[in-house]
Amino acid sequence: MPSTTVFSNATAATMTPETADYGLVRNAAIVVSDGRIAWVGAQEALPEPYRDAPTQDLDGRLVTPALIDCHTHIVHGGNRAMEFEMRLQGASYEEVARAGGGIVSTVSATREASFDELLAKALTRADALIAQGVSTVEIKSGYGLNQETELKMLRVARAIAQHRPIRVMTSFLGAHAVPKGMDADAYIDTICIPALNAAHAEGLVDAVDGFCEGIAFDTTQISRVFDQARALGLPLKLHAEQLSNIGGTALAARYGAMSADHVEYATEDDARALAASGTVAVILPGAFYTIHETQAPPIQAFRDHGVPMAVATDWNPGTSPLGSILLAMNMACTLFRMTPAEALAGTTRNAARALGLTDTGTIAPGMRADLAIWNVAEPAELSYGIGINPLHNRIFGGVQ
Ligand code: DI6
Ligand code: FE
């Protein structure tokens, strides 16, 4: 295998930060050398040394950075279809909980599942994302709520990258829910923080996340987790303002978190704070759709203040059983009026930023050769289709 390949006759959406749009180069050539992008530009400007290199003619196809799903919970046991059915028949939250549904049912199923069972299920979910051109996936813990299971989830997440050509970034989400019969403060201090320390000691944690919400943890409790994360030198993310505004977004900004996720109930002041701290707003339309939310995130305020926006699936068994990053992009446009260029930046450049990654998410010299080649001519087609997968080929670290 030659170490240099020229992809010619491409339409390249480089998604480089200098352009507010796609950074489109028509009749483009992209040179991949030893797993990295060596050169990108107009075909006729291809530098002399590459002109004799092995070439693949892409026949005008669109090439984008490979997609990045920067917010998922794809390691979990069981499913919540029964709850879905009950809800549609009019059951209340309490009735669902009494019938054994809700987040606690996923916690039980995840505790009961073996490592191998969890891995097998997670691999099929990872495969679905890979089939849509995803090269990097973030995966959270948070359905264990005890040390043993939180660590098991993170080990499974790490193992995915051993079995599939995909990069996995883990987030410790011990502060996801209060286990049944336990006090929230006691949980944070006696289980969540010790589990974080243990997971970090095992090298299982790339970032620390929390669920800051009336039904989960308040800003004081999240601060304790964040302080410990800081002491360990770990970057932060936060589920904030999904169902109400209790100050999670402001907290995330204050701590310089990499991202604040959901943010339906964020305000203009929150947008200002995110912009000042350089925190990415991660937009999760799958959860908005599933729970019939009516409050849309303040996209225009994010735009006005220059908050980078990412888009992700939030793939989880309860509020977002969404296994399609392309559908997440479509929903971000249709439900929230994001532009297709914003949606694509949200699953490439800004998704990388939400994960603290600087070597992927754009097509530029020196970046990893993580590319998606699509059977479309124009980048807006990626967000326009509903339930259509036009992926032609995916290149992961230079390997097809
Ligand atoms: N936000 C959500 O919507 C979910 N978790 C979170 O942090 C709910 C997870 C579940 O219901 O399983
Ligand atoms: Fe989530």
Nearest CA to ligand 1 atom 7: 211
* Residue 150 near residue 81, CB atoms below 8 Å: no
Residue bearing tokens 């970046």: 367
Query: 371 has which bridge partners?
Result: 65, 395
CA of 23 to the centre of ligand 2 (A): 30
What is the tens place of the pLDDT at every residue in 123-172?
999 999 999 999 999 999 999 999 999 999 999 999 999 999 999 999 99
Tokens of 57: 């003619």
CA of 397 to the centre of ligand 2 (A): 27
Q: Report d(CA 129, CA 49) in Å as an integer.
A: 36
CA of 7 to the centre of ligand 2 (A): 37
The residue to mutate among 72, 73, 138, 315, having the most atoms of ligand 1 within 8 angstroms of its beta carbon, is: 73
What is the tens place of the pLDDT at every residue in 172-218?
999 999 999 999 999 999 999 999 999 999 999 999 999 999 999 99
**What does pTM read for this prediction?**
0.98
Q: Which atom of ligand 1 is nearest to the CA of 262?
A: 1
* Residue 75 near residue 153, CB atoms below 8 Å: yes
Q: Which atom of ligand 1 is nearest to the CA of 173?
A: 7
Which pLDDT band, with edges at 50, 70 and 90, does 1 fall under? Answer: very low
What is the tens place of the pLDDT at every residue in 211-262?
999 999 999 999 999 999 999 999 999 999 999 999 999 999 999 999 999 9
Residues with CB under 6 A from ligand 1: 103, 106, 176, 211, 239, 242, 287, 316-319
Q: What are the start-end ranges of the E strands in the chain?
A: 4-13, 24-33, 36-42, 55-57, 62-65, 67-69, 134-140, 167-175, 207-212, 237-240, 259-262, 280-283, 309-311, 371-374, 391-395
Residue 2 has a pLDDT of 55
Residue bearing tokens 């087609």: 381
CA of 378 to the centre of ligand 2 (A): 31
Sign of CA dihedral 169, 71, 120, 78: positive
Residue bearing tokens 């989400």: 173
Mean pLDDT score across all residues of the chain:
97
CA of 7 to the centre of ligand 1 (A): 41
| 95 to 79, 85, 102, 318: CA distances (angstroms) | 17, 12, 10, 15
- Give alpha helix (H) positions in 6-143: 81-88, 93-98, 103-112, 115-130
Q: Report d(CA 349, CA 172) in Å as an integer.
A: 23
Nearest CA to ligand 1 atom 9: 318
User: Can you say how many angstroms the Cα of residue 253 is from the centroid of all Cα atoms in its chain?
Assistant: 19
Average pLDDT over residues 275-302: 97
